[in-house]
A and B are shown apart, each in its own frame.
Chain A
């Protein structure tokens, strides 16, 4: 999967906007949106929010977790604990990038948030690598990927799967019985 595909999935997340136009309820395959009234907050998917924002028809309310204090807490917790901590949004990286790139003027302290999210990301990726390494060196057979987000899994997926495949095959060499059974299939 390409990161832009992950981003595409992230655009389905809901975000609150405050429109400055009025429009009746819109009926779409993915669900009904609206009605839009000037000044009244509504929940819309990110793709629509960004589109409206680009046409200057709304103001985006940043998600609750996109806040310097909360992110600092998450960062500290992430650094403290050895396992992955629950993250407020499964698409935190994508949403941060999308919202900060297109609606930075609606988000207070945008630069600080960008750095914080990057910090959290780096900490988590470092943890991911560490756990992959111990996974391989202990020759484990299965692992739980709790609290990992799609984007994080996506960056190491091909590498991890390829190496696990190779390791599995090299390990089945050491048990001649199972390998011999396989050859009998022909």
Chain B
């Protein structure tokens, strides 16, 4: 049985991030291409390519998602965020044609998470981006389900190689269900005491009397 002493927090996937999710923390480090709308005074040392004291308006630079989200405001135009390549028109057509051929791990690896986060930044393409992500998920679902439910006792690294992090989690869930059932069918599964009970620290009455 797959028991852990703590419950890992799943990623938020949607526009919300889960604060305690390790996947979402890693996701927030993804770099986004941005263009500055104002001058950043005295921050020139951050931009290694120029020697000026300030970062001038209109500079193109890459920023992690967490910083871009913090700086982005609709009213005070601080910066504009451009869509990463995977979410742009060209790739959207590829996903529309056949989502199964794309190596999402190479393109992502947080394709779904980052795509949802991109909706924070105003862009006319947002509805299409959201729609493409959803359709990609649906299109790739069948293959994930079949491969995770049929690969018993074999090497799965080739199967998960091209999956996005979210899909890998799904794959693992499918595998754990299959493995548990197969183990039970072969008679290897036995009821085990829950970790919670084993680690129960409270003194028992019997121990106190002795």
- A1 and chain B: residue at smallest CB distance: B180
The stretch of A63-71, A84-92, A142-150, A171-179 in contact with B is A171-179
Question: Least Cβ distance of A88 to chain B in Å?
Answer: 20
B141–A129 CB distance below 8 A: no
What separation, in Å, do the CA atoms of A163 and B171 have in the docked complex? 10
Q: Is B58 an interface residue (CB 8 A)?
A: no
Q: Does any Cβ of A come within 8 Å of B190's Cβ?
A: yes
Is A162 in contact with B138, judged by CB distance below 8 angstroms? no
Q: Is the CB of B173 within 8 A of A169?
A: no
**CB of B116 closer than 8 Å to a CB of A:** yes
B146, CB-defined interface residue at 8 Å: yes
Cα–Cα, bound, A137→B149 (Å): 18
Does B95 lie at the interface of the complex (its beta carbon under 8 Å from any beta carbon of A)? no
Distance between Cα atoms of A182 and B17 in the complex (Å): 12
Segment among B78-86, B129-137, B154-162 that sits at the interface with chain A = B129-137
Which residues from B are CB-within-8-Å of A101? 187
CA distance A8 to B191 in the complex (A): 8
**Given A5, A97, A156, A179, which contacts B119 in the complex, CB threshold below 8 Å?**
A179
Chain A residues within 8 Å of B91, by CB: none
CB-CB under 8 A from B133, the residues of chain A are: 170, 173
Contact check, B1 vs A166: say whether CB atoms are below 8 A apart.
Answer: no
How far, in whole Å, are A155 and B183 apart by their CA atoms in the complex? Answer: 12
Distance in Å from the Cβ of B199 to the closest Cβ of chain A? 19
Given contacts A136-B141, A170-B133, contact A162 B170 (CB under 8 A): yes
The answer to whether residues A170 and B137 also contact, given A155-B181, A163-B170 and a CB cut-off of 8 A, is yes
Whether B191 and A5, one on each chain, are in contact in the complex, defined by CB atoms closer than 8 angstroms, is yes
**Contact across chains for A155 and B178 when beta carbons are under 8 A apart:** yes
Interface assignment of B112: CB less than 8 Å from any CB of chain A: yes
Indicate the member of A136, A157, A158, A182 with the most B CB atoms within 10 Å. Answer: A158
Number of chain B residues close to chain A: CB under 8 A: 41
Number of A-B contacts (CB under 8 A): 107
Looking at chain A's contact residues, the main secondary structure is helix
A158 touches B173 (CB 8 A): yes
B177–A158 CB distance below 8 A: yes
**Which chain A positions have C-beta within 8 A of B184?**
2-4, 7
Number of A residues with CB within 8 Å of any CB on chain B? 36
A2–B141 Cα distance when bound, in Å, is: 24
**Distance between Cα atoms of A136 and B142 in the complex (Å):** 9
Q: Is A111 an interface residue (CB 8 A)?
A: no
Residue A14 is within 8 A (CB to CB) of chain B in the complex:
no
Q: Within the assembled complex, what's the spacing in Å between the Cα atoms of A171 and B177?
A: 26
- CB-CB under 8 A from A158, the residues of chain B are 173-174, 176-177
The 27 listed contacts between A and B (C-beta, < 8 Å) are A2-B189, A2-B191, A3-B183, A5-B191, A7-B184, A133-B145, A136-B141, A137-B138, A137-B141, A137-B142, A155-B181, A156-B174, A158-B173, A159-B148, A162-B10, A162-B170, A163-B141, A163-B145, A166-B13, A166-B112, A167-B137, A170-B116, A170-B137, A171-B134, A173-B116, A179-B15, A182-B16
Which 7 A-B pairs rank lowest in CB-CB distance, beginning with the nearest? Answer: A3-B184, A169-B14, A159-B174, A173-B130, A174-B130, A158-B173, A169-B13
